[in-house]
Structure 1
Amino acid sequence: MSTQNIADLRKSYERAELDEEASREDPLEQFGLWLQQALDAQVPEPNAMTLATVGEGGRPSTRIVLIKGFDARGIVWYTNYESRKGRELALHAQAALQFHWVELERVVRIEGRVEKTSADESDAYFNSRPLDNRLGAWASPQSQVISSRAVLVANAAKAAARYALSPPRPPHWGGYRLVPDTWEFWQGRKSRLHDRLRYRLEGTSWVRERLAP
């Protein structure tokens, strides 16, 4: 496809609308509603979210992670603490998340500070994972340069030989929780006049406001 073809791509968003009267006053309730609708619609990987962090010198980076839980405390995912994202969160404990449910013409953006989940939470989730995934957490020095895939295979074999069916959670692996102070809900609309509702935290209350598309 040429650059000109890409520039000519167009889509009219006409599936739904988002107004203040129909939206929830609490952004967590609105998120729960939209996530359930994405699940009900069986969109591909409705739990996938883009995580944006900032490293040294203010250089941003993004990657896809999977939401593993959410409640009034925040949004939770699990990963290697020594990965690039882990190192960047150790430097700057602020991040942004984005869900894009293409089939529903919806985006949710979430910003806030990030903290680690408790050891008990991380242990509970780790122990719920399939065995191969638990061994993989030991096998992969995430984000580090390796000579070949054979390194991963060898590391996984060593972990399996050492821990058999009961690998413990590695000390470098666990959960993060983003504690939101800003939410934005985007619903595609016709003629690029999209609906955007932002919720921002003022003290202990959420202020809901409409943004121009």
Structure 2
Amino acid sequence: MAFGTRQPVPDLVPSRFHDYQQSYEQGLSGTNPPGGSVDATLRVLHALGRAESDHDTSPRDKATAAAAAAAWLCSPEGLVRQRAREVDLAPLLAVCRLGGLLGRSAGGLPAGWQAYLLGRLGARAVSSLHAEALVTQWLTRTDRHREAADPWPRLRTVEPKAELAAREVSRVLDFGTSVIGRPAAGLPESDAALVARALLAAVGALPSDE
């Protein structure tokens, strides 16, 4: 099976992610935290770097990290006030990670805030782009369920539900990898490939370069 050479995709990574990385690395190195003019997202990335560094984390550092997490949660970019717009995954995961590191020492934040945050993260994951492909290209397409042409009959053996047993996950993996890996160089891709990629994403098995 032959593959074409993958080329860089222009503007694939937004420029603000460079600032995220820089703030995190400043925290790792022990550089002073960004000043008051820096937005809540960069402060929380810096706090995570500080919390994950080899430096001793003082009570003051923990208080600063908890304040940064609270500020981001309540900021226009955070989850408490932001319900309609997309939220960057990087700061969201950073706050989740901070919650695990701070534990009960996150003063100023209500009890159970980590569980709330993870619940909101899960709710947004359910509504991500791979779910759209599953709904529009498979579940609501009645012709897909009647079509006799390969690979749709095999896809009908995959039952969508909230939790899958190991055997059912294996069925998803077998279907997805076979559909995506089947085309040789120059041959058209199956129209089931979009659904196959969405299923692989749903079980966390989409190839990293995609």
Rg: which structure is higher? 2
Structure (1/2) with the larger strand percentage: 1
- Using the size of structure 2 for normalisation, the TM-score is 0.25
- Using the size of structure 1 for normalisation, the TM-score is 0.25
Higher relative contact order (CA 8 A, sep 6+): 1
